[in-house]
């Protein structure tokens, strides 16, 4: 299994670090999908919160119908105490796509 960390940065980016390293524009609510070679997948959602919220970002996961048994936990965003991060252990060959990039498929 390989560790990835997902978190919001600034007010318009979703960062992915670790086994998968990528950055996605997040103007408004953002969602992306992690997919393993065997078809197991889950959806990640991220949204920048309004000032005064308990944290700058809200993160969540959703079942896609093939919910994997990957270890998933909440942590703290690197270099930013108080903001959440999702830490997920994924199998070799797992990919991440931005839902906006899937709309044309």
Residue-wise pLDDT for 21-51, tens only, equals 999 998 889 999 999 999 999 999 999 986 6
Kindly state whether residue 62 falls inside one of the protein's structural domains.
yes
Task: Determine the distance from the C-alpha atom of residue 81 to the mean position of all C-alpha atoms in its chain, rounded to a whole number.
Answer: 18
Kindly state whether residue 103 falls inside one of the protein's structural domains.
no
Q: Does position 62 have pLDDT exceeding 60, yes or no? A: yes
Q: Which domain holds residue 81?
A: 2-97
Q: Are 18 and 8 in contact (CB under 8 A)?
A: no
Kindly state whether residue 102 falls inside one of the protein's structural domains.
no
Kindly state whether residue 51 falls inside one of the protein's structural domains.
yes
Q: How many domains does the chain have?
A: 1
Helices (H), the chain: 99-102
Kindly state whether residue 59 falls inside one of the protein's structural domains.
yes
Token duo for residue 62: 């959703």
Q: Put the strands of the sheet holding 30-35 in their side by side order.
A: 57-63, 41-48, 30-35, 95-98
Kindly state whether residue 84 falls inside one of the protein's structural domains.
yes
Residue-wise pLDDT for 70-79, tens only, equals 999 999 888 7
Q: Does position 92 have pLDDT exceeding 60, yes or no? A: yes
């Amino acid at each position: 299994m390989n560790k990835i960390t997902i978190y919001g940065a600034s007010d318009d980016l979703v960062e992915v670090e670790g086994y998968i390293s990528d950055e996605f524009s997040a103007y408004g609510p953002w969602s992306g999908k992690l997919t393993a070679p065997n078809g197991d997948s889950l959806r990640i959602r991220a949204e920048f919160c309004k000032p005064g919220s308990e944290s700058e970002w809200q993160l969540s996961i959703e079942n896609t119908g093939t919910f994997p048994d990957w270890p998933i936990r909440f942590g703290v965003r690197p270099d930013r105490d108080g903001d959440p991060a999702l830490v997920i252990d994924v199998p070799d060959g797992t990919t991440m796509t931005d839902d906006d990039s899937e709309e044309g498929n």
